[in-house]
Amino acid sequence: MRASSLSRWACLIVLACAGALPLASQQRLQQRLDAATLAALRPVFELARRDSVPVTALEDKALEGAAKRIPAERIVAAVQQLARDLRDARVLLRGARPSGAIADGEVLAAADAPRRGVPTAEIAALAANVPPALSLLVPLTVLGDLVQRGVPAAEARQVIQELLAAGISPEQLAEIPARVDVALRVGAQPREAFFNALPIPVRPPVPQQRPPGPPSESSVRIGPPTP
């Protein structure tokens, strides 16, 4: 084959590859969203890409809105809100884990958790205390599951940390909420169901003692003095 022919083929292949890759990402949106919605979403995706926020999750949210026949302006608003949530979650995780990569799944789980009732302080504490070698995906999701079932967030978080420190696998951790459900169905209280569902016995965390000293304002009894 002559050199000119080779270079011609090389040009064609390079052009094909360069064009096809971004096309694939855009195509799945273009097929389902109108041009105006796509134009409104493009800056949100660009900003997210710049901030290392998982763009696929935002695209998924837009596709979900289109599938559910949600009006365009509400789709854009939901995607913008999700982008904010994901950005906040990423900042929160980065603050708790200053080094090492943060996986998209971990950001998604950290963004989901507050919507399920987990205080951000507990998310940060879990992220800071789980060994960096372990993914936060399962611990954060299980924490959300437990809080949704009525288990106190701080207690659930401390127990999850202890279980991970004891070498419990993510699969074992992920099974806990289903076991809690079984106990809840037969009438157990959430906290009791939780401690009975653990794969290894864990002592309930001791509530933090108040340092000795004068009573705080919140514990001062208001009303007539007791005789």
Binding site for other proteins (CB under 8 A): 8-9, 11-13, 16-17, 19-21, 23-24, 27-28, 57, 60-61, 63-68, 70, 74, 78, 81-82, 105, 108-109, 112, 115-116, 135, 137-138, 141-142, 144-145, 148, 169-171, 173-174, 177-178, 181
Q: How far is the CB of 77 from other proteins (least distance, A)?
A: 8
Which of 60/192 has CB closer to other proteins? 60
Q: How far is the CB of 226 from other proteins (least distance, A)?
A: 46
Cα distance between the two ends of the chain: 107
Q: How far is the CB of 181 from other proteins (least distance, A)?
A: 8
Dihedral through CA 110, CA 145, CA 114, CA 108, nearest 10? 30
Query: Could you identify the residue written with the tokens 């064609």?
Result: 12
DSSP character string of 46-58: HHHHHTT--HHHH
Indicate the length of the chain as a whole number. 227
Which of 16/204 has CB closer to other proteins? 16
| Structural element, H or E, at residue 188 | none
Q: How far apart are CA 208 and CA 31, in angstroms?
A: 55
Amino acid letter, residue 64? E
Q: How far is the CB of 64 from other proteins (least distance, A)?
A: 4
List, in order, residues 6 or more apart from 152 with CB less than 8 Å away.
191
Which of 56/189 has CB closer to other proteins? 56
Q: How far is the CB of 124 from other proteins (least distance, A)?
A: 19
